[in-house]
Amino acid sequence: MPAGQGKYDVLCTFVREGASAQAAAVIIVGGSLGDGFSVQTRDPAFLRALPKMLEFMAREIRASLAEDFPEAH
């Protein structure tokens, strides 16, 4: 993951603080600054767990799509 300020860090901060969360991940597709993402946390355990969380989400999305659109598979 790149270090330093990303193009959507301000938005991610807004989301994290607005939710009073310890961590936030924001994914932007077709945004005013282009595609991108930002992840913020002070907890290294969150960053270590993030890939597994994203893989779980991807499996859930695929399963839901297979149920809703079986002809696409």
Q: Report DSSP letters for 11-43, one per residue.
A: HHHHHHHHTT-SEEEEEEEEETTEEEEEEEES-
pLDDT the model gives residue 1: 47
Q: Which residues does 15 contact at the CB level (< 8 Å), separation at least 6?
A: 21, 24, 26
Q: Are residues 37 and 2 in the same domain?
A: yes
Q: Are residues 47 and 17 in the same domain?
A: no
Mean pLDDT calculated for residue range 36-61: 95
Q: Which domain range does residue 20 map to?
A: 1-41
In this structure, of 10-14, 48-52, 56-60, 64-68, the range with the lowest mean pLDDT score is 64-68
Question: With a threshold of 0.85, does the pTM exceed it?
Answer: no
Mean pLDDT calculated for residue range 23-50: 95
Structural domain count, the chain: 2
Q: Are residues 37 and 52 in the same domain?
A: no
Q: How large a percentage of the chain has pLDDT more than 70?
A: 92
Q: Are residues 6 and 28 in the same domain?
A: yes
